[in-house]
Amino acid sequence: MSNVIPHSLFTDFDIDLFKAGKHFRLYEKLGAHLTEVDGKKGVYFAVWAPSAKAVSVIGDFNFWIEGEHPLNIRWDSSGIWEGFIPNVEKGAKYKYKIHSHHGDIKTEKADPFAARCEHPPNTASIVWDTTYTWKDKNWMKKRKDINRLDKPFSVYEVHLGSWMHKAEENRPLSYLELASELTAYVKKMNFTHVEFMPIMEYPYDPSWGYQLTGYFAPTSRFGYPEDFMFLVDELHKNDIGVILDWVPSHFPEDAHGLGNFDGSHLYEHPDRRKGYHPDWKSLIFNYGRNEVRAFLISNAVFWLDRYHADGLRVDAVASMLYLDYSREDGEWEPNQYGGRENLDAISFFKELNEEIYGSFDGVQTIAEESTSFPMVSKPTYLGGLGFGMKWMMGWMHDTLEYFKKEPIYRKHHQNDITFSMTYAFTENFMLPLSHDEVVYGKQSILGRMPGDEWQRFANLRLLYSYMYTHPGSKLLFMGGEFGQSDEWNFQQSLDWHLLEYDYHKGIQKLVAEVNNLYRNEPALHEKQFVSEGFEWIDYNDSENSVLAYVRKGENEKDDLVLIANMTPVPREEYRIGLPASGSYKLIFNSDAPEFGGSGYKIAKQYTSEAVEWQHRAQSVVLDLAPLGVMVLKKFKSAKKS
């Protein structure tokens, strides 16, 4: 007699949606669910394995013996095996023993929908209840307004395992410890959001979390699922949004994972030209299979629903969009129209974004997409992919290349630093200085800066000030905000001891201040994605390597004038044209002594003159600090005669 009681959480409608690839709340049905049947407490298990001829739940409650708790396959050709096992409790460890029709293979698989996983290198799933009493009601009510595209998005990118270590124990902080330490720090630094590199369970530390095996479970490295909820809750209570890195592009071949799940290519594409990623030695999801699309979209929805995430940054979008991505001729097959676009992935993205934006108020999806694929961040009803924002990889590359150059040579590369404005409004761009830019021999951001010690830090202040006054939202990887000297090492803490030194402390103060400027000056965010929010004053003075431009808000009184001197040579009596007559005050100077600057004397207030300059009726003469950005704001209009 079976120890499994027939039971199902699925309705016929659920099954129809699942088969059609339209069930986007599968986590409510598949997986392990604590429940009660016929007065008995226990767990309902359900797993999709259509090519299996037998599936058993094995675990510490049955000594991992196959056959003690066999699941029943549903009659409706859905491929779902299910059943209720009495007396199994929260905390029980389990896997699925799957006997396949293909080659008489038997495998032990972790639950794809497990709410909690064992700490790696152990690989079992754990029965868990993710019930949590949220205290972020105020945040959830107002985030629709906070997360709009005309509001500031200044994102602090964090790798939880290496942000800060408990020194005496030489271990990363737990979710609960981060809830106080990280929240206080992000608030102090005036970032609006944090972005966590993948926190879903992953087996291999050097993957940084980008090779997932537990798509529905926060990694057990830092605590329990409810501990991670508490971290999100604390950030929300302090008006800090939470963005999660999400990886629908590929998954590892680990034996307990999704690969060859029921003896068949269930989750991965069966054609290796579409189902295997040569760079990452990993498997690629079959985006054309209905049930796989439902799995992935359900997973995205899960983190927004159960964990109150405010956005998803979708990893490696370009690798999904193109059939020939990282492949030589002959290693890929064109689509039905002879093109290189992956039509299944394109339609998947559109459906994903339609579901997310249709179901949740105040969330954003952000694409890490490095090509010129059109309309990534445009709505699907206009033919776009439907993302809210896209990383501006071209800006990142050109800007870092420019800043690496000795200032004396920058006059020959003026176009490199201005080129981004030719395409800045084709997408809703986020400017990223991410973890990818501080690893694998690229050096830290500070390490790229040329010159002596003072010039290196001045260049870094200049870079951040330019970044925060350039159109678009912002992302800065942890450590960059205080001038981490060495490349990022995922195995150790950031070098917080550097804050004992004034230059590093000055960088930290500057980042807090540019965050403050970006948040509080409407001209820097209200029109950050539209051309009406930006206007060049002059980009042609390559001889002096000076840029001057205007950032505009909804109200003309909020407009800002910005001047950047890209060399260590002060420019005295430098004239620029002004957008309007009146009196202007200096509201920001990256060369200020409190940031570690030279303290070069520049006036705090200016009055326009009726001298035509740079095709403008009004102009002003000012002194430019070395390697500095200054921001002017009009506070008084000219008197009418």
- The mean pLDDT value for 31-49 works out to 97
Parse the chain into domains and list their residue ranges. Answer: 12-126, 153-246+285-524, 534-637
Q: Tell me, yes or no, if 315 is annotated catalytic.
A: yes
DSSP state at residue 501: S
* Cβ neighbourhood burial of 81 (10 Å; 0-12, 13-18, 19+): buried
Query: Where do runs of H (alpha helix) occur along 208-289?
Result: 225-237, 272-275
DSSP state at residue 138: H
Q: Predicted confidence band at 514 (pLDDT cuts at 50, 70, 90)?
A: very high
CA torsion, points 463, 466, 470, 476, in degrees to nearest 10?
Answer: 40
d(CA 77, CA 431): 47
Q: Is the pLDDT of residue 31 over 90?
A: yes
pLDDT of residue 457: 98
Q: Is the pLDDT of residue 241 over 90?
A: yes
Q: Which of 572, 593, 573, 579 is nearest to 551 (CA)?
A: 579
Which contacts qualify for 619-623: CB closer than 8 Å, 24 or more apart?
619/575, 619/576, 619/577, 619/578, 620/575, 620/576, 620/578, 620/584, 621/573, 621/574, 621/575, 622/563, 622/573, 622/574, 622/575, 622/576, 623/570, 623/571, 623/572, 623/573, 623/574
User: CA angle 119-437-287, nearest 5°?
Assistant: 60
pLDDT of residue 21: 97
Beta strands in 101-177 (DSSP E): 106-109, 116-117, 125-126, 154-158, 165-166, 171-172
Residue 536: its H or E element? strand 534-538
What is the tens place of the pLDDT at every residue in 603-626? Answer: 999 999 999 999 999 999 999 999
Q: Which of 569, 545, 574, 567 is nearest to 632 (CA)?
A: 574
Q: Which of 300, 245, 296 is nearest to 268 (CA)?
A: 296
d(CA 411, CA 541): 8
**Could you say which of 14, 195, 226, 315 is catalytic?**
315
Indicate the CATH number for domain 12-126. 2.60.40.10
Is 201 strand, coil or helix?
A: strand
Q: What is the mean pLDDT of the chain?
A: 96
Q: Tell me, yes or no, if 594 is annotated catalytic.
A: no
Residues near 430 by beta carbon (within 8 Å), at least 6 away in sequence: 153, 155, 366, 389, 390, 391, 392, 472, 473, 474, 475
**Could you say which of 118, 195, 201, 368 is catalytic?**
368
If you classify domain 534-637 with CATH, what class do you get? mainly beta
Q: Predicted confidence band at 8 (pLDDT cuts at 50, 70, 90)?
A: very high
Q: Predicted confidence band at 639 (pLDDT cuts at 50, 70, 90)?
A: low
- The mean pLDDT value for 200-206 works out to 95
What is the tens place of the pLDDT at every residue in 291-313? Answer: 999 999 999 999 999 999 999 99
Crossing angle of helices 225-237/175-188, nearest 10°?
A: 20
Structure tokens at 28: 């409510």
Q: Which of 361, 222, 270, 250 is nearest to 314 (CA)?
A: 250
Q: Predicted confidence band at 548 (pLDDT cuts at 50, 70, 90)?
A: very high
What is the tens place of the pLDDT at every residue in 163-174? Answer: 999 988 889 999
Q: In whole angstroms, how far apart are CA 619 and each of 101, 527, 534, 561, 609?
A: 80, 25, 18, 12, 5
Cα atoms in the Cβ-side hemisphere of radius 13 Å centred on 361: 8
Q: Which of 429, 410, 409, 406 is nearest to 418 (CA)?
A: 410
Q: Tell me yes or no: is domain 153-246+285-524 CATH 3.10.20.340.
A: no
What is the tens place of the pLDDT at every residue in 421-472? Answer: 999 999 999 999 999 999 999 999 999 999 999 999 999 999 999 999 999 9
* Bridge partner residues of 277 (DSSP): 282
pLDDT of residue 640: 52
- The mean pLDDT value for 68-72 works out to 96
Q: Predicted confidence band at 141 (pLDDT cuts at 50, 70, 90)?
A: very high
Q: Is the pLDDT of residue 209 over 90?
A: yes
Is 459 strand, coil or helix?
A: helix
Domains 153-246+285-524 and 534-637 share a fold: no
DSSP state at residue 9: -
Question: Cβ atoms within 10 A of the Cβ of 248, count?
Answer: 27
pLDDT of residue 282: 96
* Bridge partner residues of 613 (DSSP): 616
DSSP state at residue 637: E
- The mean pLDDT value for 491-513 works out to 97
pLDDT of residue 103: 72
SS3 content of the chain, % helix, strand, coil (to 5): 30, 25, 45
Please state, for a pLDDT cut of 90, what percent of the chain lies above it. 96
Write a three-state SS string for 45-95.
EEEECCCEEEEEEEECCCCCCCCCCECEECCCCCCEEEEEEECCCCCCEEE
What is the tens place of the pLDDT at every residue in 112-140? Answer: 999 999 999 999 999 999 899 999 999 99
586, 573 Cβ separation under 8 angstroms: no
630, 574 Cβ separation under 8 angstroms: no
- 539 backbone dihedrals φ, ψ, rounded to 5°: -125, 10
* Bridge partner residues of 85 (DSSP): 43
169 compared with 249, residue with greater pLDDT: 249
pLDDT of residue 641: 40
Please state, for a pLDDT cut of 70, what percent of the chain lies above it. 99
Q: Predicted confidence band at 407 (pLDDT cuts at 50, 70, 90)?
A: very high
d(CA 483, CA 498): 8
Structure tokens at 78: 């859905």
